[in-house]
Chains A and B, each alone.
Chain A
Amino acid sequence: MAFVTATWNPLGEAFYRKTEVYEMGWRLSSGLRDCLVAAAPYGGPIALLKEPQRRSPSARPQLEIYSSSGCSMASFVWKSGVVKHLGWTVSDDLLCIQEDGTVLIYDLFGNFKRHFSMGNEVVQNQVLEAKVFHSPYGTGIAIITGAFRFTLATNIDDLKLRRLPEVPGLQGPPTCWAVLTQDRQSKVLLASGLDLFILDNTACSAVTPPGLSPQVCSIVQMCVSFSYKYLALFTDSGHVWMGSANLKEKLSEVETKVKTPPKQMVWCRRPKSHQPSVVMMWERHLLVAGECKETIQYHLDEESVLVPELDGVRIISSTHHELLQEVPAACEEIFKIASMAPGALLLEAHKEYEKESQKADEYLREIKEQSLLGEAVRQCVEAAGHEHDIETQKILLRAASFGKCFLSNFPAEYFVIMCRDLRVLNAVRSYTVGIPLTHTQYKQMTCQVLIDRLVYRKLYPLAIEICRYLKTPEYQGVSRVLKHWACCKVQQKEESDEAIARAVSVKLAEAAGISYSEIASKAYECGRTELAIKLLEFEPRSGEQVPLLLKMKRSQLALSKAIESGDTDLVYTVVTYLKNEMNRGDFFMTLRNQPVALSLYRQFCKHQEQDTIKDLFNQDDDHQELGSFYVKASYKEKRLEARLSLLQSAVDEYNKAKNEFAAKATDEEMRLLRFQRRLEEEKGEQLLGLSLQDTLRVLLSVGLNKPAEQLYKDFRVPDKRYWWLKITALADKEDWDELEKFAKSKKSPIGYLPFVEVCVKKHNKSEAKKYISRVTPEQKVKAHLAVGDLEGAAEAAIERRSEAEISMVLSRCLSTTDRGLVDRLNRARSTTAKK
């Protein structure tokens, strides 16, 4: 414990510490010399491209990929062109940028994924230098060609090449350059001697850093901070200029007394830095320069590489992996020698407590008196987060927990979450995993991304363990990991389809929200169609299965899945696909076996393809529907002959369907149409298309009684209806004599109330009254009421001794005018009621 500060070095007001992260597991015969090295930020993997030992034309370089702890992940002989630069994408893919501008992408395990070119200009003029950079839009690449022109791609997953404008007067290569991300745009900052230029999409503008010391002749090295907010320039005079990246503000300028340009220069900052600094590295010499005059100097035992991080710099050599960072405030407060900060006192108190010494109480009192115990606990928890050594973490957390006992309202989450975070971090920092994340980095990258990284490394069990431990919702956590696992599993060529399908289904059975179709898609991409189909069987969302099944030309299966989903639009989609893929016969046969699809297709045809629908009915021998089809078609015909012939077809079909009624009705309709036409020709009445009833009415109303009689007989119109027709027609014509004659011609099948009603309808009460005597007793009251004869109605009602009828008449009487009648009716009602 006493040695915590042993690795600390003061820089102005702040301290810097260099702590060992790993002892490297790799065995590099010649160190990092003659190697292209790329180490991904956030404790990512390291790629090395080693030049061959013997310089012979047949000798090939070796590409090796390691974890941050130096565990080998891949190693293979590089057989493609000359590589100028290596870099990592945000999703842990390796980018190898070749001299000719071709970029090859490999995964963590050295499997080739794809390649693309940076454009013709690059091919012609070759790559002089390249840089890989990260922005909110993804991973980008910047290239300067032999013609000193820049080409930029902001996101390699959505490749849009931009050729930046020419730099005026640039004769040779720039002395140094860097990529900036400003105003949602990626730009290049370059130095040619003392001149600085910013290149964006459209223009090249000269800029000057404010307050650059006058004795400078050339800017020889530059670097931009992790956040793109700060810029550092190294000049040939040995000065480091530090300022904001927009070149509006100067932070400081420090003299290093070294004139040779550093091999590597990077920013070393942390969020809320007290003393941000720039780290420069020469062959065996490391120098940290901040805002103050002093610097920190380290001697390096071997060739090293600097990896800038969000909150520090990692230094990788062939034997060691170290982290250089500003000591976080909480750690400084607690561990600084003779610190009286509350956290320091709490730590001390806890130590004494463990020793069972009463001093513990004294320390505690001291903190409590200042009411700083909460602050003390917070400091200890925060400091624990920044410590890599597990023992130190424990001591701090124990102290925090101890302090917490004396607080009643300290929120528990802060402590609990830190413990949880540390547990996850310690797990991924372990040598075998080799992801040396700091707590700050972890919070920035989020747990989701960490899980992704573990998945890329195929560390599925650990990833699942972490998800379960953090209680990540299943579909974001465990299910997602398992999906990746399954996608990886289906690529294992040595295993049989059955074995894989079984393994996948067993593992994934419990997990919720798994997209089997994605896994199946992967299997299909690998050429394992059978496996893909097997896997799709597990997909609960039928909708998801369909597109892939269609792609795999399993259209029949796609159709049944679409039907299963109930989504008719999906069924239509498959049906349309089938229609284009198959010959008509097969298509119809397929539909025939799928009634749901068939009826949907019928609907479609009804609106879109009338002829097809006929074929469909024909195929099914659905004569009833065919009959109706012809009927509908007949109404579209303007010519009577055509219409009749279609109706004849309908008759035939209805007969085949054994629908005697429809056949007969259709036949009658044809007879009626012919009759109407004949009559139209003979008498000039517009009849065609009218119903039989309307035809009769027209005929009767114009007095064409003979043809009417004939129709009545031919079509066996029921007497009742014919009588109704006849009397209505006569009343309409107000041919009262004829009506009377007709009433007397024979006994009316509809009784005589209708006679009364048709007269009343024409407001002829006197005619109406003529028929009242013939109305049956049951309807007499109604008849009297219809002509407004209350007396008569009352008479009839009383005679029939019907309470209901008496009431009906009563309701029509007005108490004022029909006084006597009302009394009579009331009396009659009471006598009827008694009986």
Chain B
Amino acid sequence: MAAHLCYGRVNLNILREAARKDLREFLDKCAGSKAIVWDEYLTGPFGLIAQYSLLKEHEVEKMFTLKAGRLPPADVKNIIFFVRPRLELMDIIAENVMSEDKMQSPREFNILFVPRRSMLCEQRLKEQGVLGSFTNIDEYILDLIPYDGDLLSMECESAFRECYLENDQTSLYHTAKGLMTIQALYGTIPQIFGKGECARHVANMMLRMKREFAGSQTQILPVFDTLLLLDRNVDLLTPLATQLTYEGLIDEIYGITNGYVKLPPEKFAQKKQGEGGKDLPTEPKKLQLNSAEELYAEIRDKNFNAVGAALSKKAKIISAAFEERHNAKTVGEIKQFVSQLPHMQAARSSLANHTSIAELIKDITSNVLPTRLLPPLASETFFDNLTVEQEFMTGVDTDKVNTYIEDCIAQKDPLIKILRLVCMQSVCNNGLKQKVLDYYKREILQTYGYEYILTLNNLEKTGLLKPQTTTRNNYPTIRKTLKLWMEDANEQNPNDISYVYSGYAPLSVRLTQVLARPGWRSIEEVLKMLPGPHFEERQPLPTGLHKKRQQGENRTTLVFFLGGVTYAEIAALRFLSQMEEGGTEYIIATTKLINGTSWIKSLMDKPEVNI
């Protein structure tokens, strides 16, 4: 079921199994039939750990969503609340418990806090007078969730907002705890590098926790050689740019949540042509996207322009495989063919799905439209938008008001699109001239409404939008030193990470790449221009646990993005892992998988208009 987690350099299934074991143990603690009341936010992340079948095996008979009022009836012995430790949720639970009909057969109440118990919440329950009603109060430590064979996510949407806007470092504490769990399972990570305030904070907590646990941990041969902690605000530019890998585009256009994407159904209906399928499906098509699907693993990280070729190549291979049946003469050959059939059929349906998705994306992104009848609206918009992004990234006219943005505002294009572009211009210009900034802000407020003044304030607080304070713009220096812009990006057969944005090499990944070789000492100057401290820590290993590296064996680095990472960045890191002369393989961890849209959205504050 989770085989795709085992095949990578590091077997992340160990982590998943550990999480499942804890879950089973808790469920067994509450003897008898159970109903789970879910904090809705948790269902997605939990789906990555355990399906309903596991819960069912442990006598979970009903599932509800946590909401105010009375609990729905269910003839079970236990009610278990799966919740995040939040005060507002405690009030709902208290209401649930108090409105329970005492006359009915008594149900036992239990709480499972995810990822950690909170004294504050328990205090709140006590104040509400219901703390005594709970048989079990426990915590389910779920910090890092295995997302794919080389990817861990905390699925914590608000991490960036909390850290950089609200100065609430709770998620960093969970990060540090999660990294301690990783070290308990995969051994102490001997080297820690980091860049940024949050990275520093996490490293400090880790070192402190290490001291706290001194003497009590089991000794395991380290799996990871290096941990690199990166603050998202070290590289604000990358998530703002439109991702151009296949997976990145799916996320940009349709949004991937907890490993699933919902797609418009029309394209998928054609499959049943023969049945005269008149009734078009109206429900969006839901697909799971991970490396368990062979074809997807192959094409997900390609530049979208290279996906078509890959798909047609695959199509040929599959039809050739089906043709094989004509060659099968003997019983043995036929038997062998039949045994491969399920696999081939799965491959064929996977191919059909991705061909449909690729068509959907192409309609939106392609500069070249297939028919002459449609006005060139969607694709042209996409292309124009991309052109402006690339102008900014290459430093063209970043210091004056951009006409394209102006036009987009005038036509009231989606606000987030505008914000992404304006922020990008600001980042690429190391802040905007006060006049330019005020002009944009005024345009936005007049067009989209005054209430967005709060959002603009937030963007300014996080540094995504800022007035120029010095006349010196150091972005060009950074761009040149780190080679962030590559004129001749090869999309089909990439030789550099810049292919993921068709020219732009993500800054965060460049930092990772330079760290591996030749080392950060070579870019000391640039590191100083980026926000926050950069540092290196060593965690001493007891003798005997030092890894004896085989000739040619790769190093393994865990890269942790504090505040989110994009699919394109992941693709770039996977590209580095696969480079033959790279010498380093990367496992990626993050607080949340983001794209420019979801990221900006998390920073928006929109009061409900009451008038």
Contact = CB atoms under 8 A, between A and B. Distances in A.
Given A540-B212, A573-B119, A603-B166, A631 B88 contact: no
Most chain B beta-carbon contacts within 10 A, residue among A473, A511, A638, A785: A785
B373 interface: yes
10 contacts: A475-B215, A572-B119, A599-B167, A635-B608, A643-B611, A662-B453, A690-B449, A692-B446, A717-B446, A786-B376
A600 interface: yes
A569 B85 contact: yes
A688 B372 contact: no
B211 interface: yes
Interface string B191-224: 0000000000100110010011111100000000
B211 A691 contact: no
B203 to A, nearest CB: 11
B448 A693 contact: yes
B372 A814 contact: yes
A572 B120 contact: yes
B581 interface: no
B407 A750 contact: yes
B375 interface: yes
Interface in B444-466: 445-451, 453-454, 457
B118 interface: yes
Interface stretch (A183-191, A452-460, A720-728): A720-728
Interface string B524-551: 0000000000000000000000000000
A566 B607 contact: no
B170 A568 contact: yes
Contacts of A595: 167
A570 B119 contact: yes
A566 B412 contact: no
B443 A721 contact: yes
Contacts of A320: none
Given A632-B454, A718-B443, A693 B216 contact: no
Contact of A569 (B118, B372, B443): B118
B324 interface: no
B173 A567 contact: yes
Contacts of A473: 215
B282 interface: no
B454 A666 contact: no
Contact of B208 (A566, A572, A643, A662): A566
A396 to B, nearest CB: 37
A157 interface: no
B21 interface: no
Nearest to B452: A691
A510 to B, nearest CB: 11
Nearest to B175: A566
B123 interface: yes
A715 B450 CA distance: 13
Given A569-B118, A665-B445, A635 B607 contact: yes
Given A513-B214, A632-B454, A637-B610, A811 B368 contact: yes
A202 interface: no
Contacts, number: 161
Contacts of B212: 540-541, 543
B176 interface: yes
Interface string A764-801: 00000000000000000010011010100000000000
A607 B610 contact: no
Interface of B: 85, 87-88, 116-120, 123, 166-170, 172-173, 176, 201, 204-205, 208, 211-216, 367-369, 372-373, 375-377, 406-407, 409-412, 438, 441-443, 445-451, 453-454, 457, 605, 607-611
Would you call the interface of chain A mostly helix, strand, loop, or mixed? helix
B550 to A, nearest CB: 32
A629 to B, nearest CB: 10
Contacts of B445: 665, 668-669, 691-692
Given A566-B208, A607-B88, A814-B372, 20 more contacts: A512-B215, A543-B212, A569-B85, A569-B117, A600-B168, A607-B87, A628-B454, A635-B451, A637-B610, A661-B442, A665-B441, A669-B445, A689-B609, A691-B445, A692-B447, A693-B446, A693-B447, A717-B446, A724-B407, A786-B376
A636 B610 CA distance: 6
Contacts of B367: 808
B314 to A, nearest CB: 26
A760 B447 contact: no
Contact of A568 (B173, B442, B611): B173
Contacts of B441: 661, 665
Most chain A beta-carbon contacts within 10 A, residue among B216, B412, B446: B446
A761 interface: yes
Contacts of A814: 372
Nearest to A785: B376
B173 A566 contact: yes
Contact of B406 (A564, A692, A721): A721
A147 interface: no
Contacts of A540: 208, 211-212, 214
A474 interface: yes
Contacts of B609: 635, 689
Nearest to B410: A724
A640 interface: yes
Contacts of B446: 691-693, 715, 717
B611 A638 contact: yes
Given A632-B454, A692-B447, A717-B446, A576 B120 contact: yes
Nearest to B441: A661
Contact of A513 (B216, B369, B409): B216
A307 interface: no
A596 B119 contact: no
Interface of A: 473-475, 479, 511-513, 540-543, 564-570, 572-573, 576, 595-596, 599-600, 602-604, 607-608, 624, 628, 631-632, 635-638, 640, 643, 661-662, 665-666, 668-669, 672, 688-694, 715, 717-718, 720-721, 724-725, 728, 750, 760-761, 782, 785-786, 788, 790, 808, 811-814
Contacts of B213: 513
Most chain B beta-carbon contacts within 10 A, residue among A637, A661, A724: A661
Nearest to A542: B208
B87 A635 contact: no
Contacts of B116: 569
B453 A665 contact: yes
B215 A566 contact: no
A786 B375 CA distance: 6
- Shortest 10 CB-CB contacts between residues of A and residues of B: A512-B215, A635-B607, A599-B167, A724-B410, A513-B215, A691-B449, A669-B450, A693-B447, A692-B446, A568-B170
A720 B168 contact: no
B168 A568 contact: yes
B453 A596 contact: no
Contacts of B607: 631-632, 635-636
A728 B213 CA distance: 67
Contacts of B201: 566
Most chain A beta-carbon contacts within 10 A, residue among B88, B211, B215: B215
B610 A566 contact: no
Given A541-B212, A569-B119, A636-B610, A720 B406 contact: yes
A567 B212 CA distance: 14
Contacts of B208: 540, 542, 564-566
A599 B172 contact: no
A786 B120 CA distance: 62
Nearest to A724: B410
A249 to B, nearest CB: 36
A538 to B, nearest CB: 11
A608 B87 CA distance: 9
B374 to A, nearest CB: 10
B610 A638 contact: yes
B368 A576 contact: no
B169 A596 contact: yes
A624 B536 CA distance: 37
Contacts of A596: 167, 169
A813 B371 CA distance: 9
